[in-house]
Chain A
């Protein structure tokens, strides 16, 4: 199967080609456009499955076999730029997940975007995103990864601002782009630094790559910033990029606003795949972060940032009223968990949660989309309610997703993956605080999801009240079309099943990613701390569910009538702080943005009073010179040329007149020619 690796570029290639084709697609051929994108995606999915089958397993713990295909891209002087593809367990699970979720979202969008006038463009952007995301996954070169990283950022920008006629969407896409770009600056510096230290950005290159032992040994011994080694510094810088992309505190502010985009986009890009790219990047460079004894500072940073993000996301989610924003904060919180898992437990822990989260969060978002679609674009959960009767399928699948997110014990995937993270955090050598924060987050997750469920699906429908208030004709919520429900059903199934590949009893996922012999550990569940943690976290989750039901059950609470119970119970000011997301946006507004504004004003002043006068002086000089050269041109060169042309014209007249058409003259010329030429030859020559 070695040649398979050289064709792996087809996996991102097909969606990219589809995106290209769709760019030139006629706008009224909507069906064809969606099918083209879906078929390309389906082929990518099938190829990913093949790739999955082709990845070699390793029975030895910690030794992962990778298929690598490097080739020369171009030469500059004596330096040749080599890039390549890679196929290893880490990216192959991502490939399967991304292609699969993308495929489902593509299908779902057929129904969701049905009436949108820019349908074809939507699919072009989605395909572009999918292609770039897959390219990011298979890249064996940090620069290529970075390029794809930027393209997914671009696709995200385009799709958040897809309804650009809404001012909020236009602002949101700008915010997302700029915020992530701040993180990318760190990533870029880290990349350049890494190139400077390792001399190569190829990850794996037969012992020469930057993630292989010889380079790592060198990087780990080189000095970095603030007393850290270069390895730790580069790790922190790269993590900075991941913070932007994966919505880690304090760069998470763009992600809730990104919900202005169409819901399938939120499901695919801002829940399942792109935001996980940061986690994937950290997993990809994990050898650098974890190189024995040196990179721990970077991992500590990741752990702390992850824990804080997990807790803050969960806290803020408790006080939001927008259906998608709650999910957005939940995503932020879950990404925090992944980072926490990566910092404490390593690649397998984080990746496991990444995969399960992708399934159930995509499910939740698509379910939310179905709800919004059914409620005619209503997003405020206070005006929903009672939808379990109107939308039974959505309700059932959404419920499964919610339980998985909350981590309902034993039967949901979220339980197993989150438990692994908690387990890793509990055994972390650093500090107990991240573990406690993670526990609090787990409780809150169950709580806010229950709150949301109560608002949306239970009680009686309040949509009428909203419509009456705004004076529009009342609408009845309805169930969504089959093309939207099919992905929900599939994802709901996966939200349950996906967890069983990584239980302590059957740790297939870990062995697949990190090598080792797969075996059944029937007793692992009841092993000391594992069991305690299982029971503890289950208790927390169930406590959260119960607390949520207690506060928000429709029996006791009506959102339009009552004040939010949290607002009542908490000391005054706390709830509004949560609702305002810790005033972080306002904080940035008054510091970063205000500062940038000051700087811009200063630059403008400088421009007006210094640069422009200088330019005018230069312009004046140029005009003088050009005036002189014009004079020269007109009176010397042109006049000379004109005289020359005139001369040629006169000669032409003469030559032309010589051809009189009289044969006698012609023959005379021939004879004369003979005589002259002969004379020149015979008597001529300056010998």
Chain B
């Protein structure tokens, strides 16, 4: 390790990790501000100040990402960056900022706002590091940084017993999967002697699959499956989505998954490119593709089926998110660069829609309604504009053209179908994904039916403040504008991933 550190100057490290550093500093400043002003400033004002501060930090980090980022890696892959990383980090920063914006709509903030913001930012740091990691240790550390922050955030409303319970569940499953990951990583390290993914790749070239290595890989995949909520490692998701504070839930549903997907693609293709096996129908050969294909398959089936029966909208969204992870895994499965690009693009755009929907649910719950189906009933009469936005967001998630959700899904399927040799397994997976999307229409349209065709059980217009309205309208606009004019952004993505 000593040698590695000497290989790069501290300047290099700082240059490469400037966005992360900015976020850490922002988190510390947020803590300091909250300590300094706690009790001396009105709670709401303090909370908003901290949120603005966090958004400022994210903005600065994004600015650095946009204008000043060299490509390359230091410390043997501990920190790594290229155009694709930068794009994904920008997407994560945007989604994180949107979550914080969602938090700003909260009129009665819970206590300990400083810690809340600091933890949110630290989770973002974890995601950034995860995206920029090419090294098993860094991946693990970043995963844990993100996960630990999110455990605490999930249970942040300590006064509610159910919050604590859910956070504990989340922590237990997370802890077990972290143990799996660590064990898997140690096995891989033991088999290869390297921690850096590129070194592992080199060391493994031409070698046959060792059962122990396979076990290590499966163990690691369990950790990633937990992160992206792929079935059967998704069990925590419904509870967390239901109970976590809305900004946290939307962060978990969007940014955290984006990071997970990106690092999964990097991990598998960058470190174990020779061990994917194949999924050519009956003539499949063992490899991580088979494992991943099974995860995708299970996620699509279980996610959609379970979502059909949910009475709570947040739980429904959780299951549908599992299904979406299943779709996105198709991107990871296709070996060309357009696959991971499509997956990342899909998850980011999906994140936009789901943050918008969470924003709406937040508004509804603020208006004194639990988030079951009845909360949506009569939305059209009570707030036509919000209902229209809701329709756009939900239809985008369902993948209806011309919204962005359709385009993202379309790209995923196309990149899977364009795989050379047309492996039958991939084609079957795409067919399954199409069928699963058709099933998903049932519950998505069910939500719209409740919002548009049912009469309101409660009367009166819906009160929403400017932060919430602007968030919902912006996300809805993005779904339609990006859906109609995807050109440049999508091309940037493809280009960045191809390099």
**Contact assessment for A674 and B180 in the assembled complex, using a CB-CB cutoff below 8 Å:** yes
Contacts of A674 in B (CB 8 A): 180, 218-219, 222
Q: Please judge, given known A-B contacts A674-B222, A686-B285, whether A666 and B236 are in contact too, CB under 8 Å.
A: yes
Contacts of B235 in A (CB 8 A): 659, 665-666, 669-670
Contacts of B218 in A (CB 8 A): 674, 677-678, 681
Q: Please judge, given known A-B contacts A655-B302, A659-B238, A686-B285, whether A677 and B294 are in contact too, CB under 8 Å.
A: yes
Instruction: Find residues 165-203 in chain B having any chain A CB closer than 8 Å to their own CB.
Output: 168-169, 172-173, 176-177, 180
**Contact assessment for B286 and A667 in the assembled complex, using a CB-CB cutoff below 8 Å:** no
Instruction: Find residues 16-58 in chain A having any chain B CB closer than 8 Å to their own CB.
Output: none
Instruction: Find residues 644-674 in chain A having any chain B CB closer than 8 Å to their own CB.
Output: 648-649, 651-653, 655-656, 659, 661, 663, 665-667, 669-670, 672-674
Q: Is A687 an interface residue (CB 8 A)?
A: yes
**Contact assessment for A656 and B305 in the assembled complex, using a CB-CB cutoff below 8 Å:** yes
Instruction: Find residues 608-654 in chain A having any chain B CB closer than 8 Å to their own CB.
Output: 648-649, 651-653
Contacts of B467 in A (CB 8 A): none
**Contact assessment for B238 and A663 in the assembled complex, using a CB-CB cutoff below 8 Å:** no
Contact with A along B194-225 (1 / 0, CB 8 A): 00000000000000000100110111011001
CB distance from A389 to the nearest CB of B (A): 68
Q: Is A684 an interface residue (CB 8 A)?
A: yes
Q: Is B283 an interface residue (CB 8 A)?
A: yes
**Contact assessment for B306 and A681 in the assembled complex, using a CB-CB cutoff below 8 Å:** no
Distance A684 CA – B282 CA, assembled complex (angstroms): 12
CB distance from A171 to the nearest CB of B (A): 49
Q: Is A476 an interface residue (CB 8 A)?
A: no
Distance A659 CA – B232 CA, assembled complex (angstroms): 11
Residue of A nearest to B214 (CB): A681
Chain B CB within 10 Å, residue with most, of A651, A659, A672, A680: A659
Distance A661 CA – B168 CA, assembled complex (angstroms): 12
Q: Is A685 an interface residue (CB 8 A)?
A: yes
Contact of A652 among B176, B236, B287, B309 (CB under 8 A): B309
Chain A CB within 10 Å, residue with most, of B217, B225, B232, B288: B232
Q: Is B239 an interface residue (CB 8 A)?
A: yes
Q: Is A556 an interface residue (CB 8 A)?
A: no
**Contact assessment for B439 and A648 in the assembled complex, using a CB-CB cutoff below 8 Å:** yes
Interface size grouping (class) on chain B: 35 or more
Interface size grouping (class) on chain A: 20 to 34
Residue of A nearest to B307 (CB): A652
Contacts of B219 in A (CB 8 A): 674
Q: Is A226 an interface residue (CB 8 A)?
A: no
Chain A CB within 10 Å, residue with most, of B215, B285, B306: B306
Q: Please judge, given known A-B contacts A682-B286, A685-B286, whether A670 and B176 are in contact too, CB under 8 Å.
A: yes
Contacts of A652 in B (CB 8 A): 305-306, 308-309
Residue of A nearest to B236 (CB): A666
**Contact assessment for A680 and B286 in the assembled complex, using a CB-CB cutoff below 8 Å:** yes
**Contact assessment for B306 and A663 in the assembled complex, using a CB-CB cutoff below 8 Å:** no
Contact of A678 among B215, B283, B439 (CB under 8 A): B215
Interface of A is mostly: helix
**Contact assessment for B284 and A686 in the assembled complex, using a CB-CB cutoff below 8 Å:** yes
Instruction: Find residues 551-602 in chain A having any chain B CB closer than 8 Å to their own CB.
Output: none
**Contact assessment for A681 and B172 in the assembled complex, using a CB-CB cutoff below 8 Å:** no
Contacts of B226 in A (CB 8 A): 670
Q: Is B402 an interface residue (CB 8 A)?
A: no
Contacts of A667 in B (CB 8 A): 172-173, 176
CB distance from A662 to the nearest CB of B (A): 9
Contacts of B288 in A (CB 8 A): 681
Top 4 nearest A-B pairs by Cβ distance? A685-B286, A666-B235, A652-B308, A656-B309
CB distance from B53 to the nearest CB of A (A): 37
**Contact assessment for A659 and B282 in the assembled complex, using a CB-CB cutoff below 8 Å:** no
Distance A674 CA – B214 CA, assembled complex (angstroms): 11
**Contact assessment for A661 and B239 in the assembled complex, using a CB-CB cutoff below 8 Å:** yes
CB distance from A683 to the nearest CB of B (A): 8
Distance A665 CA – B283 CA, assembled complex (angstroms): 34
Q: Is B464 an interface residue (CB 8 A)?
A: no
Contact of B215 among A649, A670, A682, A685 (CB under 8 A): A682
CB distance from A531 to the nearest CB of B (A): 76
Contacts of A651 in B (CB 8 A): 305
Contacts of B222 in A (CB 8 A): 670, 673-674
Contacts of B308 in A (CB 8 A): 648-649, 652, 656
Q: Is B49 an interface residue (CB 8 A)?
A: no
Contact of A663 among B172, B221, B225, B302 (CB under 8 A): B172
**Contact assessment for B232 and A648 in the assembled complex, using a CB-CB cutoff below 8 Å:** no
**Contact assessment for A656 and B294 in the assembled complex, using a CB-CB cutoff below 8 Å:** no
Q: Is B277 an interface residue (CB 8 A)?
A: yes
Distance A669 CA – B298 CA, assembled complex (angstroms): 13
**Contact assessment for B176 and A677 in the assembled complex, using a CB-CB cutoff below 8 Å:** no
Q: Is B233 an interface residue (CB 8 A)?
A: yes
Distance A666 CA – B231 CA, assembled complex (angstroms): 11
Residue of A nearest to B172 (CB): A663
CB distance from B282 to the nearest CB of A (A): 6
CB distance from B211 to the nearest CB of A (A): 5
Q: Please judge, given known A-B contacts A673-B232, A678-B215, whether A648 and B305 are in contact too, CB under 8 Å.
A: yes
Given contacts A681-B217, A681-B286, 8 further A-B contacts (CB under 8 A): A670-B173, A674-B219, A674-B222, A678-B214, A680-B286, A684-B290, A686-B282, A686-B283
